[in-house]
Structure 1
Amino acid sequence: MHATIRRKMETAKTEIIEKQKKNPFHFEWILPVIIKPRKTIEKITSQEKPVWLTPLVVISALIILAALVAGPIKRNIIQMGLNMPESFQYYSEEQQMQFMNAQANRTSPLFLYVFPILTSLAGLWVSFFLLSSLLHLSLTLAGSRSQNVRSYNLVGWSMLPLGVRLLVQIVAMLVTKTVVSNPGLSGFITGDIKGFAAFAAALLALIDIYFIWQIILLLVGVRPLSGLKRSSAWMATAISLVILMLLQSVPGFLSSALSGLTSSTPFYF
């Protein structure tokens, strides 16, 4: 009797384990990462299988939702002429017509929804793969022998604060009916932004409390992941982040340089 019960319990346990192995999503970890980050991140970094898909899917969905919320707001701003340049009255009639035609084109769904969604999704996924690869490479050069999938898992779940950022932005847009024009610390650079100032603005746009939160999660998980000393693990993480930030700043810098905009949007979101 006891042997039969034991076999049934072992069979049920095996079925649960197999089901967990086949399930690529772990939505049950989302709140624990926020509430109990150390314990949950250590659990995530101990996984020898890919478990990074959940946060990426959640953030991707929030990116789409944010674009859907921002679209009508941007259209209203353009149609009401709230984004007119200060010296618009000094433009020639031909220049004014060109500006108005360009503004009219920006109210199309292609510019309001499709391009923002595609560029933001591309930024998210490219940033994820870049940081994961850079982190694994840096840790390997520092002496770690951990599998690359564990670096992917850590980086994926460390990006969850960026989803919180999107939630805050969505709520703010719904309440204020405006969009975020100067993300991160880029608002500290004002005036005619050109050259190095444009690059600095793009770099500062990446830095906010949510990015710092992401860094903390990375630092919490990188030591148990790598098995290295704290100083070595943290240095490898810092190098990876600096390289990523420099790469992320390039699109914003090029956009500002080519279009003459006074502000830039980072490649991250």
Structure 2
Amino acid sequence: MPEVKEFVEQWSRIWAAHDGASWPDLLHEGCVLRNPFGTVARADLPGYMANLVRGMPDHTLTATSWGETAGGVLIEWVMTGGGMEITGADRFTLRDGRATDGVAYFDPTPMITAMSPPKLPVEALAREYDAAWNAGDVDAIVARHAQDGSYHLHVAGAPVITGRETLRKAFTAALANWRELSFEPVRVRCEERGYVWESTVLGVLERPLRLGAVTVPVTGTPLRFTGVDLVTLDQDGLISAKDTYLDILAAAQNTSVSPPVRTS
């Protein structure tokens, strides 16, 4: 039927141009499209195409064959992009040249893999950040934080601070407390979007260190105490949130605590 051929041609143009705005023109009111990811309403089709383009901008979907069915059309296709290839078929029920129902059949696994963000090298990022602190390089430290990243030193009265410039001032002031300062890593526990870092803090104070209600005096002797950083990363691998916990009592008493951990 001519209307079936025209439907397939319009369907092909939409996919060739990634023209999500024209998708609803192929469907009657109330029609939904179903695929392995779920059900897409007619009004949501432009957004569905936009998300697909964002996740896999180089994708192409081309009809390899099509044929009329008793109630509409079956289109076989191949999709490429993001280093993957998928074959599938769309079955549409038609009335007056537009769809009243549509179902797509394909294995979604390759598409999920292609559209998933790459895994972050979390441990490598953690070690780079630790190296920046050991070098006392404020620029390198701040560069590892997201523009709107937050930091909270969990001592009494310490506020959450947010934003790179605020973090720069806070970290510069923190480093200025020390004549000597280094961090000895103990272990790192990595997750997909963050890590827990444990290390020993070793240093000699330049001036009294105020940690909430506790002040650690300058003695001229090396201090050794523990802490732990809980770090959350954004999708770009930058630090969106960092929470630091210290063994303040050990620092105040100038005693060593086991197991040792880190602060920044």
Same fold (TM over 0.5): no
Higher strand share: 2
Higher helix share: 1
TM normalised by structure 2 equals: 0.24
TM normalised by structure 1 equals: 0.23
Whose Rg is larger?
Answer: 2
